Amino acid sequence: MINEKPKSLLGLKDLTRLEIENILQQATLFKEIFNRPIKKVATLSNKVVVSLFYEPSTRTKASFDLALRMLGAGSLGFTPASSSVTKGETLIDTVKNLESMGVDAIIIRHGMGGAPHLVASNTNIPVVNAGDGFNEHPTQALLDMFTMIEEKGYIEGKKVAIIGDIMHSRVARSNIWGLTKCGAKVIVCGPPSLIPVGIESLGVTVTNNVEEAIEDADFINVLRVQLERQKGSFFPSTREYHREYGITAQRLKKAKSDAIIMHPGPMNRGVEISTEVADGPYNVILEQVRNGVAVRMAVLYMLLMRSKEI
Amino acid sequence: MNSPENLLLKNATVVNPESSQVADVLIQNGKITEVAAHIENSEAHIIDLKGKFIFPGFIDLHVHLREPGQEEKETLATGLAAAVHGGITAVCSMPNTNPITDNEYFIKFLVDKAWEINKAKLYPIGAITKQSKGEEISEIVSMIRAGAMAFSDDGLPLENMLVLRRALQYIQPYNKPIILHCENKHLSLDGSMNEGELSTILGLPGIHRACEEASIAQSIEVAKYFGRIHIAHVSTKGSVEIIRLAKQRGIAVTAETAPHYFALTEKDVNNYNTNAKMNPPLRTEEDRRAIIEGLRDGTLDAIATDHAPHAVDDKNKEFNLAAFGIIGLETSVMVTMQKLVQEEGFPLELIAKICSTNPANILGVHSGHVKAGYVADLTVINKEANWEVKDYQLYSKSKNTPFIGMQGKGKAFMTIVNGKIAWQEKV
């Protein structure tokens, strides 16, 4: 249809298993580029993409920038601190202006759930959610799933433990949507004050016992304790958190010997994960980061090539 | 000869809280002078209302008219016109204007201006505390002398229970209600929708039901010793249960709910619909059922809209940043007729009670019946009229309502205020 909105990636909530698998398949092809002497293709050389980061980010922003460069696309960085946002410009006005200048897609990170949806409904270009409040972080979950497949071959039937602040975690939510759609068994674990109401309805098991959570797990995804989101006392101290929920070498003795340790970063060493584990044998934390570029290349490629066809 | 002050409404069904009957209603000089079968009067202007239903005028206890201070959202003129368009004959305006309506001069401004506008009646609500800060009680008696009909710090909870105690004691001789917005701010924090499965799915900060229920329970225990309270905008099953128990215990408490709490649920927030964002938030189907049963068994006394106009820009933004509140004056009767009468089988007498008689009693005004001697504030309803809510048909300055597009049966046909036709359906 001519007037149909271009596809956006707002969350894994909205995708089918097939759509997820197609992205991961595409990412495999892009990862191959990493091994080439010239890490670049010219696929999107006629495109310019703007990244709007309303929240600070190292990994995700750099990863999207690299992905765009490797695809040959132009990228336009933008931080609210040095923009008209400080003059009170609304999100909708900001993105409409950028669209009017001719950017081909918008990557957005925002502190509030639903902000990328608002952008998508007010523009006619693809929107990629790079993390919105504690709603979703779809590319993170895709790169997590990509890494899982690299490590163990497939996701169907695997047990994934997600440990930590589930309530404020967009990474947890996107992982839950993606993993359950692809047939994984997901168990979430954290202090009861950080388990959101009704999370079971997303098809996961809940426990407050970290040993129980990691037992038999094929993957242990350790979430960052988001100290900046802790309004009100969800737990008394990082010390007690580490004692009760931290992933340590001692605790890992209860897990499978080949259980894979994952973390979306940035890590609080000594809080949710001990340094020994973070740098230990089965951690794939840096591989996750590397895969992030391939996955984001796949997402951008698929959204922008598709919109060209319309 | 046919003086417009004298009306003879013929052949309609007259609905009172006790009973209904087909009868004629004679209105002279703004008052109902006779209700009987086959009245003859050559002086009066005769209107045939065969097939229609005459209710005592609907009173909306909870409305934000935004004047003074936010005239871009609503004015007294547009709000009072919207009221009669929706079949509401009188509205209580909340004092969270800018500046706050916390003294006799602002009350007088509202009373005088509403008189000039001459649409729906205005029963102004004054602030309980100065600047609605919750610290010192405002000049309540001076405001009553100027025309204030109730007191509230709505928009904000009155958190200091000592201030509530003093206000309840101080107001006792005047029999005017203290209306409480019950919300424990520590519990609600920066929430923006009901805390539950859907807030987890949408990744939005939740407002737990406990924040409303804890505050209601606390206020009721104070009211038990010091006076009468009216609970605004009840939204949860737990609140209904607390109020039901309080009434059984003989505590002087009344309560209202809004059409959106018995018509909608949190599901209407899906896809970040900011026109379904209000405080308290839309809850679950279980709560919706409990609200309906609360209205049916008398636990909830009144339907009040919490009409809260907001400009497009206040709503067309990030969900967390969007303003709380929806308009309701023009959809209240429609939604009530569809949801409570059509779907739930509420008798019309009960509708008269919760939309007119009970609110009148809560305010202490002599209305709420279609009987000789009562003021001729009347809401005439066409029970069979099909409708669809369309934004361009709304008289309100703002269009922020999730009911746009909703269809149903039963709506206002004519609104009579002080014996004069303030609005009628074009036929």
Torsion, Cα B406 B407 B409 B410, to 10 degrees, reads: 40
Contacts of A117 in chain B (CB under 8 A): 271-272
Look at residue B193 and tell me if it is in a domain: yes
**Would you call A113 and B313 a contact, using CB atoms and an 8 Å cutoff?**
no
User: pLDDT: is A260 or A3 the higher one?
Assistant: A260
Same domain, B388 and B313: no
Domain boundary among B317, B333, B363: B363
Look at residue B323 and tell me if it is in a domain: yes
* Residue at token pair 């570029």: A293
Domain boundary among B322, B337, B363: B363
B270: contact with A, CB 8 A cutoff: no
Same domain, B229 and B328: yes
A53: contact with B, CB 8 A cutoff: no
Domain boundary among B313, B336, B363: B363
Look at residue B389 and tell me if it is in a domain: yes
| Closest chain A residue by Cα to residue B197 | A198
Provide DSSP, A4-30. PPPP-B--GGG--HHHHHHHHHHHHHH
Total residue length of chain A? 310
Helix (H, G, I), strand (E, B) or coil at A195: coil
Q: Is the pLDDT of residue A308 over 90?
A: no
B200: contact with A, CB 8 A cutoff: yes
Same domain, B192 and B46: no
Q: Is the pLDDT of residue A3 over 70?
A: no
B272: contact with A, CB 8 A cutoff: yes
Q: What CATH code is carried by the domain that includes residue B420?
A: 2.30.40.10
Look at residue B370 and tell me if it is in a domain: no
Interface test with A, best of B318, B320, B321 (most A CBs within 10 A): B318
The string of pLDDT tens digits covering residues B198-209 is 999 999 999 999
Same domain, B167 and B50: no
* Cross-chain CB nearest to A114 (options B200, B272, B313): B272
**What is the predicted ipTM?**
0.88
The string of pLDDT tens digits covering residues B137-184 is 999 999 999 999 999 999 999 999 999 999 999 999 999 999 999 999
Contacts of A231 in chain B (CB under 8 A): 189-190
Torsion, Cα B322 B202 B189 B289, to 10 degrees, reads: 90
* Cross-strand pairs, B302: B256
B195: contact with A, CB 8 A cutoff: yes
Q: What CATH code is carried by the domain that includes residue B278?
A: 3.20.20.140
pLDDT of residue B4: 58
pLDDT of residue B263: 98
Same domain, B381 and B236: no
The string of pLDDT tens digits covering residues B92-123 is 999 999 999 999 999 999 999 999 999 999 99
Would you say B58 and B98 are in contact if contact means Cβ atoms under 8 Å apart?
no
Same domain, B178 and B270: yes
Look at residue B369 and tell me if it is in a domain: no
Interface test with B, best of A197, A231, A233 (most B CBs within 10 A): A197
Q: Is the pLDDT of residue A123 over 50?
A: yes
The string of pLDDT tens digits covering residues B12-67 is 999 999 999 999 999 999 999 999 999 999 999 999 999 999 999 999 999 999 99
- With cut-offs at 50, 70 and 90, classify the pLDDT of residue B1: very low
Q: Is the pLDDT of residue A309 over 50?
A: no
How far apart, in whole angstroms, are the C-alpha atoms of residue A168 and residue A47?
34
User: Å from B239 to nearest chain A CA?
Assistant: 20
A197: contact with B, CB 8 A cutoff: yes
The string of pLDDT tens digits covering residues B284-294 is 999 999 999 99
**Would you call B203 and A132 a contact, using CB atoms and an 8 Å cutoff?**
yes
* Cross-chain CB nearest to B318 (options A115, A196, A231): A115
Look at residue B368 and tell me if it is in a domain: no
**Would you call B203 and A136 a contact, using CB atoms and an 8 Å cutoff?**
yes
pLDDT of residue A232: 63
User: Å from A185 to nearest chain B CA?
Assistant: 18
Same domain, B272 and B140: yes
As a whole-number percent, the residues of chain B with pLDDT over 90 amount to 97
Domain count, chain B: 2
**Would you call B206 and A197 a contact, using CB atoms and an 8 Å cutoff?**
yes
User: pLDDT: is A39 or B232 the higher one?
Assistant: B232
User: Å from B84 to nearest chain A CA?
Assistant: 35
* Residue at token pair 């046909």: B413
A92: contact with B, CB 8 A cutoff: yes
Would you say B239 and B220 are in contact if contact means Cβ atoms under 8 Å apart?
no
Residue A191 DSSP class: -
- With cut-offs at 50, 70 and 90, classify the pLDDT of residue A1: very low
Task: Give the residue from A247, A67, A263, A39 showing the smallest Cα distance to A147.
Answer: A263
The string of pLDDT tens digits covering residues A209-258 is 999 999 999 999 999 987 766 666 788 888 999 999 999 999 999 899 99
Look at residue B210 and tell me if it is in a domain: yes
Same domain, B62 and B107: yes
- With cut-offs at 50, 70 and 90, classify the pLDDT of residue A132: very high
The string of pLDDT tens digits covering residues A40-79 is 888 898 999 999 999 888 889 999 999 999 999 999 887 7
User: Å from A53 to nearest chain B CA?
Assistant: 15
| Closest chain B residue by Cα to residue A229 | B205
**Would you call A231 and B189 a contact, using CB atoms and an 8 Å cutoff?**
yes
- With cut-offs at 50, 70 and 90, classify the pLDDT of residue B276: very high
Same domain, B49 and B61: no
CA separation, residue A302 to residues A24, A107, A307 (Å): 11, 14, 8
User: Element (H or E) spanning A236, and its range?
Assistant: none
A118: contact with B, CB 8 A cutoff: yes
**Would you call B318 and A117 a contact, using CB atoms and an 8 Å cutoff?**
no
A80: contact with B, CB 8 A cutoff: no
* Cross-strand pairs, B90: B59, B121
B196: contact with A, CB 8 A cutoff: yes
Q: Is the pLDDT of residue A310 over 70?
A: no
* Cross-chain CB nearest to A92 (options B205, B316, B319): B316
According to the 3-state scheme, what is the secondary structure of B204-256?
CCEECCHHHHHHHHHHHHHHHHHCCEEECCCCCHHHHHHHHHHHHCCCCEEEE
Domain limits for position B181: 57-363
Contacts of A13 in chain B (CB under 8 A): 201
Question: Would you tell me how many other CB atoms lie within 10 Å of the CB of residue A84?
Answer: 12
Look at residue B271 and tell me if it is in a domain: yes
| Closest chain B residue by Cα to residue A91 | B317
Helix (H, G, I), strand (E, B) or coil at A63: helix
* Cross-chain CB nearest to B190 (options A198, A201, A231): A231
Domains of chain A by range and CATH? 12-137+292-309 (3.40.50.1370), 138-288 (3.40.50.1370)
Handedness of CA B112, B117, B123, B127 (dihedral sign): negative
A199: contact with B, CB 8 A cutoff: yes
Q: Is the pLDDT of residue A176 over 80?
A: yes
Q: Is the pLDDT of residue B2 over 70?
A: no
Exactly one of B306, B313, B314, B391 is catalytic; which is it?
A: B306
**Would you call B197 and A201 a contact, using CB atoms and an 8 Å cutoff?**
yes
Interface test with A, best of B189, B190, B199, B201 (most A CBs within 10 A): B201
**Would you call A115 and B271 a contact, using CB atoms and an 8 Å cutoff?**
no
Same domain, B100 and B153: yes
pLDDT of residue A4: 60
Same domain, B354 and B381: no
**Would you call A196 and B272 a contact, using CB atoms and an 8 Å cutoff?**
no
Same domain, B87 and B119: yes
Question: Would you tell me how many other CB atoms lie within 10 Å of the CB of residue A278?
Answer: 18
Q: Give catalytic status of residue B306 as yes or no.
A: yes
Average predicted confidence (pLDDT) for chain B: 97
Q: Is the pLDDT of residue A99 over 60?
A: yes
